[in-house]
């Protein structure tokens, strides 16, 4: 059942703001500088991981100071839940990635299952190398592989259920202006 607007307004009113909007933009500025320095001569193929990667991708792209071919893919495993399940491909990448440097952009590396599966898919389809960029790396010891990290990380955030800047709570509040943790989660 869809939560009511009142309930969704209560979620953000009761949530803890862990990272302010201004701090998020500073982190994205830094990520963009790092990505530009690393990839400006690589002609990378960038894939936004829908839906969560939408906002980071939209903020990063104008900050990247080199020509970028931007595409998208859609893989999901949380749906409306706060724990992850089986990864479902809703749209596989269509662009030819043979011998390309691929940059995968997503909102969060939580357990890392999603990014691992996407990276494996790209390598299996001929990508020369796959790099990953996430706004948030959630701090816990449940990563799909010990020590798993993205190549570019904006912020390290505590182990709570988060929303804002692309991350959703039950499909809502991807638009929240900062990074918030749901009360009690």
Nearer to ligand PRP, 38 or 144 (CB): 144
Give the one entry of ligand HPA, ligand PRP, none that residue 162 binds, where binding means its C-beta sits below a cut-off of 5 to 8 angstroms depending on kind: ligand HPA
User: How far apart are CB 185 and ligand HPA at their closest, in Å?
Assistant: 8
CB of 47 to ligand PRP, least distance (A): 12
CA proximity to 87, closest of 129, 55, 116: 116
Question: CA–CA distance from 175 to each of 45, 78, 118, 180 (Å)?
Answer: 26, 18, 24, 11
The rounded distance, in Å, linking the Cα atoms of 82 and 153 is 22
Q: How far is the CB of 22 from ligand HPA (least distance, A)?
A: 21
Task: Report strand pairing: 152-157 vs 45-50.
Answer: unpaired
- Choosing among ligand PRP, ligand HPA, none, which partner's interface includes residue 51 (Cβ < 5 to 8 Å by kind)? ligand PRP
Asked if 148 and 117 touch (Cβ cutoff 8 Å), the reply is: no
- The answer to whether 137 contacts ligand HPA (rule: CB under 6 A) is no
Give which of ligand PRP, ligand HPA, none residue 112 binds (C-beta under 5 to 8 Å, depending on kind).
ligand PRP
């Amino acid at each position: 059942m869809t939560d009511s607007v009142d309930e969704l307004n209560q979620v953000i009113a009761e949530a803890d703001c862990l990272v302010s909007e201004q701090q998020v933009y500073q982190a994205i500025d830094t990520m963009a500088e790092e990505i530009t320095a690393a990839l400006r001569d690589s002609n990378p193929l960038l894939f936004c991981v829908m839906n969560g990667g939408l906002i980071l991708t939209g903020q990063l792209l104008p900050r990247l100071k080199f020509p970028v071919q931007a595409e998208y893919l859609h893989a999901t495993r949380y749906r409306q839940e706060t724990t992850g399940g089986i990864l479902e491909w809703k749209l596989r990448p269509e662009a030819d990635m043979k011998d390309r440097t691929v940059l995968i952009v997503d909102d969060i590396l939580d357990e890392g299952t999603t990014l691992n599966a996407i990276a494996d898919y790209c390598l299996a389809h001929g990508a020369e190398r796959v790099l990953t960029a996430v706004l948030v790396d959630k701090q816990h010891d449940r990563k799909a592989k010990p020590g798993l990290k993205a190549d570019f990380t904006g912020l390290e955030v505590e182990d709570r259920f988060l929303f804002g800047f692309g991350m959703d709570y039950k499909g809502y509040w991807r638009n929240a202006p900062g990074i918030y943790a749901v009360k009690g989660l």
